[in-house]
Amino acid sequence: MALYRSCVPSIDEKVQAIMLERTRYPAGVPCWVDTAQRDPRAAVAFYGGLFGWEFEDSMPPDSPVRYLLARLRGRDVAAVGSATDLGPPTPVWNTYISVESADETATRVTRAGGQVINPPFDILEAGRMAVFADPAGATFCVWQPGEHKGAQLVNTPQHLELVRSQHSRHRRREGVLWRGLRLGDQPCRFRLR
């Protein structure tokens, strides 16, 4: 029996990926996301309401910029920061790829025809980062972990509910027919074959 779906992984995939806690990432794997916003408090209200994230400001109270860590089930999943004049004019989500050395990666990016937008620099004890562009201009960040390894919780839905049909007209010879699936408040459609 195969499951065809329009918005969620198969049942087997869900079992493997529902709640993955991470303490490290291999080099070359995306490990973190954040966004820089002109009004970080408004973005926190939006994303907190949308995804159920809780936020904690990691910056000292007298800092002119904010960096609010988003948490789900008490684990870091993303961040919302203050936009600066050096950043893009429109808010974007930044993807960070784990590397062993941000400095060595900067050299490799240049040799491969890419561009160093922000050279490697330290973020206190958290780690070292840099911003690059590939030859076509797509930007990406790299993260050399220090105390902060990256997202601590990945591939987890906020709420997932399967509803099994008890009606005989919904049963099939191949097995159980699921009549409903909800991801948060959104119903998903799928069929069994």
What digits encode the pLDDT tens for the residues 173-185? 333 333 444 444 4
> What is the maximal distance between C-alpha atoms in the chain?
66
How far, CA to CA in Å, does 119 sit from each of 34, 102, 116, 171, 192?
18, 9, 6, 60, 51
The domain locations on the chain are 3-7+158-192, 20-154
pTM: 0.71
Residue 161, pLDDT score: 39
Name the band, by pLDDT with cuts 50, 70 and 90, for residue 52: very high
Q: Worst-scoring range by mean pLDDT, 5-14, 41-50, 126-135, 147-156?
A: 5-14
Identify the sign of the CA torsion 48, 49, 53, 56.
Answer: positive
The CATH number of 20-154 is 3.10.180.10
Residue 146, pLDDT score: 96
Residue 174, pLDDT score: 38
Residue 165, pLDDT score: 42
Average pLDDT over residues 184-193: 43
Name the band, by pLDDT with cuts 50, 70 and 90, for residue 156: confident
What digits encode the pLDDT tens for the residues 68-111? 999 999 999 999 999 988 777 889 999 999 999 999 999 999 99
Which neighbouring-strand residues pair with 123? 127
Alpha carbon distance 8, 13 (integer Å): 9
Alpha carbon distance 121, 119 (integer Å): 6
% of the chain exceeding 90 in pLDDT? 63
Would you call 54 helix, strand, or coil by DSSP? strand
Q: Residue 92 has which token pair?
A: 């974007």
Which neighbouring-strand residues pair with 5? 190
Average pLDDT over residues 36-63: 95
Residue 158, pLDDT score: 52
Alpha carbon distance 189, 180 (integer Å): 7
